[in-house]
A and B are shown apart, each in its own frame.
Chain A
């Protein structure tokens, strides 16, 4: 059962990612991105990373994507003059070369994974593992071993916040 679900989500993720790439309409691309993120979240669940999966949904689907859609809507207030619809048409250039290079890189990395010897490899990928919540572990680790990165992320967020506030503040031109 699990392998089929797994494959189904992979197909979902890949197809929607392809739509993101090939679609000319930015709005469609954004919505496909939603599916991609969703698919990836599902894959996280399947490998037992429940916390990451939830975070993925919350942050990407809930936050970033909504932001993206707002961005699309706000930038195109006048609508498309050609067909009167409210959409943005992007242009793709260098499809072929870009595809070739991307595919080449993908092939390389795929090869890397195929040949990889993970140190702590889990040999029985599709056998049911003991299910437990990782959230607590992560929480404890963040406040003990990884307290410094956790705290310092505050500096990162602070810098980002100041920057965002500054850049979006009104300037007289």
Chain B
């Protein structure tokens, strides 16, 4: 059996052991089995990566379904893209597994949790390893299911169950698009294998803007919107924070949500021939990036801030895809996986220390009590804000440079987004770790640094967040852009026009965005550390308590200049856009179904006479309709 098949097999075995033996496998063993399974997969992936010769490999397991001439096989494809995804998934996955051993140690469903984590890993690996769209779809649905199970893991609270269901249903709406896209591919190309479909496109002489490709790509993109939380299907992601924090780190930050990006990069040849779709992708990405970042500005729940930040970063990645900067987007996927996982795990460490308190208004001054968490969190914050030389800087600036080539306005918005990113991340950092402790005495007494099982992954991820950027060190700094070079064969067949970015221009762009990020970090420092501002309690921003609120920013010039308009904007987006537009359209459909259901139910009134009457009426209607040609003439 080749190493390739072993990769998904390990987590599956882990799942089976923990799942079937739930309550029988001792707690100490369950975590180790799962982590070992994840690590074994990582080791396999690493071995394959080191021995990779640049030639895509397809491992055919068995023929799966044969429908007429269409043959769908269960087979794995190993190429640059899947290798990199494998490394990220198994690598970050292993760290999060180890972390969870510490984090979940007090939980009753310890074994169940690890079983689910392993199952998730299995499906995620299927998703990225499959050599055709159907296997990808299986993984796609599977991770959705696991995500559902894990969001609702703490099911004592019925809200959590609802959040889980919301996530699942929103994803299904996206899946509808994906499934239709697959059908269209089957219909049009008669195959779902990547290699066949892509070579058919390459040889088929499709011109740019081909109608079929447009429909296929737009349908696939709808699928990506659901899974990767883009407007209008993003609202499930913040709600998904109901799950345990390692879950948020693994699924809702590092791996699953990037599935949409993976899919588009995988299908890059189709997207490159569909410029309309690319435009849509880019603008949806930009809108999501801005909307989510602005909402993130004044959230007070530590995980909510990170959730909106994730949505916003995903928006950046889509923006990059939209301008055909595939490898840059992937670079951002990678660095984002490092620093966002780190942020979530750090947040988890804080929550753990704070006895499950998630409100940053009750935190503060934690840097002395949680030194390791603080330092790693700081590194991640710098990384995500795009300040050199940490990982986020390189990847984000690569995307922005490409965006600049494509559309200057889009670039300006992108920089605006990164200013907001820097602001809310530093705000989070300052409110959490600086100043005085604002929680209860009991919490203060309880504060402690997390166990080594939790801090070790933090440190490893911190190192990766710090140096991750050097994997694709750009030419202008004398690097080799090795990641881009490695991924080059993936884009051979697509028609990407390579625009060489002017070096001096690129450096200027970098300086602009770095200065902007630093400035906004400085503003955050001024507001939250120097002035020691603490966000007011919820619901008091408006209405009767406005007086208090106004006092809060008449005094401060900066506040009036920045906070008020942005708060207003943020509130506007959160309350008007999110509630009216998103809730009305997306959730409104759900409510409509429910209302409709309660109405339709009344048709079933239990009277036989009425039933027969309805039947006769229908028969008469059908007969009239069928005989209409005779009746009319």
> Are chains A and B touching directly in their complex (CB below 8 angstroms)?
yes
Contact of B620 among A97, A98, A108, A112 (CB under 8 A): A108
Other contacts beyond A97-B613, A111-B627: 15, CB < 8 A: A93-B609, A94-B609, A94-B613, A101-B616, A101-B617, A102-B616, A105-B616, A105-B619, A105-B620, A105-B623, A108-B624, A108-B627, A111-B630, A111-B631, A115-B630
| Interchain CB contact under 8 A, B630 and A101 | no
* Chain A residues bordering chain B, tally (CB within 8 A): 12
Contacts of B623 in A (CB 8 A): 105, 108
**Shortest distance between the CB of B193 and any CB in chain A (Å):** 51
Give the chain A neighbours of B620 by CB distance below 8 A.
101, 104-105, 108
11 example contacts (A-B, Cβ-Cβ < 8 A) are as follows A93-B609, A94-B613, A97-B613, A101-B613, A101-B617, A102-B616, A104-B620, A105-B619, A105-B623, A108-B623, A111-B627
Which residue on B lies nearest to A106, using beta carbons?
B620
Query: Which residues on the B side are within 8 Å of A112 (C-beta)?
Result: 627
Chain B residues contacting A104 (CB-CB under 8 Å) are 620
In the bound assembly, the distance between CA atoms of A104 and B616 in angstroms comes to 10
Q: 1/0 per position for B591-625, CB-CB distance to A under 8 A?
A: 00000000000000000010001001101100110
Question: Would A98 and B613 count as touching, CB distance under 8 A?
Answer: yes
**Min C-beta distance of B626 to chain A, whole Å:** 10
In whole angstroms, what is the CA distance A102 to B624 when docked? 13
Shortest C-beta distance, B615 to chain A (Å), equals 10
Q: Which residues of B pack against A, CB within 8 Å?
A: 609, 613, 616-617, 619-620, 623-624, 627, 630-631
Whole-angstrom CA separation of A94 from B609 in the bound complex: 10
Cα distance A72–B609 when bound, in Å? Answer: 20
Alpha-carbon gap, A111 to B623, bound state (A): 11
Q: How far is the CB of A94 from chain B (nearest CB, A)?
A: 7
Main secondary structure of the interface of B (DSSP, over half): helix
With a CB–CB cut-off of 8 A, which chain A residues contact B630? 111, 115
Distance to closest chain B CB from A104 (angstroms): 6
For A97, give the chain B residue with the smallest CB separation: B613
Say how far A123's CB is from chain B's closest CB, in angstroms: 22
- Distance from A113 Cβ to chain B, minimum over Cβ atoms (Å): 12
Residue of A whose beta carbon sits closest to that of B623:
A108
Interface residues of A in 136-165 (CB under 8 A from B): none
Q: How far is the CB of A111 from chain B (nearest CB, A)?
A: 7
The CA-CA distance from A115 to B627 in the complex, in Å, is 11
Give Cα A93–Cα B608 distance, bound, in whole angstroms. Answer: 13
Tell me, in angstroms, the Cα distance from A102 to B616 when the chains sit together. Answer: 8
Q: For the complex, what is the distance from the CA of A97 to the CA of B627, rounded to whole Å?
A: 22
Chain A residue numbers with a CB within 8 Å of B619 are 105
**Smallest CB separation, A100 vs chain B (Å):** 10
Note all chain A residues with C-beta closer than 8 A to B609: 93-94
Query: How far apart are the CA atoms of A103 and B616 in the complex, in Å?
Result: 11
Across the interface, name the chain B residue whose C-beta is closest to A93. Answer: B609
Inter-chain contacts of A102 with B (CB < 8 A): 616
- CA distance in complex: A97, B616 (Å): 12
Within the complex, the shortest CB–CB distance from B176 to chain A, in Å, comes to 39
Write the nearest CB–CB distance from A115 to chain B, whole angstroms.
Answer: 6
Contacts of A115 in B (CB 8 A): 630
Closest chain B residue, CB of each to CB of A102: B616
Q: Which residue of A lies closest to B620 (CB)?
A: A105
CB distance from A103 to the nearest CB of B (A): 10
Annotate A84-107 by CB proximity to B: 1 below 8 A, 0 otherwise.
000000000110011001101100
Q: Which 4 pairs, one residue from A and one from B, show the smallest C-beta to C-beta distance? A: A105-B620, A108-B623, A104-B620, A101-B616
CA distance A103 to B374 in the complex (A): 84
Give the Cβ gap from B631 to chain A, nearest Cβ, in Å.
7
Find chain B residues with CB under 8 A from A97 CB. 613
A108 to B622, CA, bound (A): 11
Most buried by B among A98, A102, A108: A108
List residues 106-141 of chain A with CB under 8 A from any CB of chain B: 108, 111-112, 115
Chain A residues whose CB sits within 8 angstroms of the CB of B627 once the complex forms: 108, 111-112
Closest to B630 in A: A115
CA distance A162 to B631 in the complex (A): 48
Residues of B with C-beta under 8 A to A108: 620, 623-624, 627
**B631 neighbours in A (Cβ, 8 Å):** 111
Chain B min CB distance to A128 (Å)? 33
What's the least CB distance linking B618 to chain A, in Å? 10
Most chain A CB within 10 A, of B609, B613, B616, B620, is at: B620
A105 to B617 CA separation, bound complex (whole angstroms): 9
User: From residue B611, how far is it (CB to closest CB) to chain A in Å?
Assistant: 13
CB closest chain-A residue, reference B610? A94
C-alpha gap A105/B616 in the complex (Å): 8
- Minimum CB distance partner of B612 in chain A: A98
Chain B residue contacts of A105, Cβ below 8 A: 616, 619-620, 623
Query: Within the assembled complex, what's the spacing in Å between the Cα atoms of A98 and B617?
Result: 10
For the complex, give the distance between the alpha carbons of A149 and B623 in Å: 30
Chain A residues with CB under 8 A of B617: 101
CA distance A104 to B622 in the complex (A): 12
Chain A residues lying within 8 Å of B616, measured Cβ to Cβ, are 101-102, 105
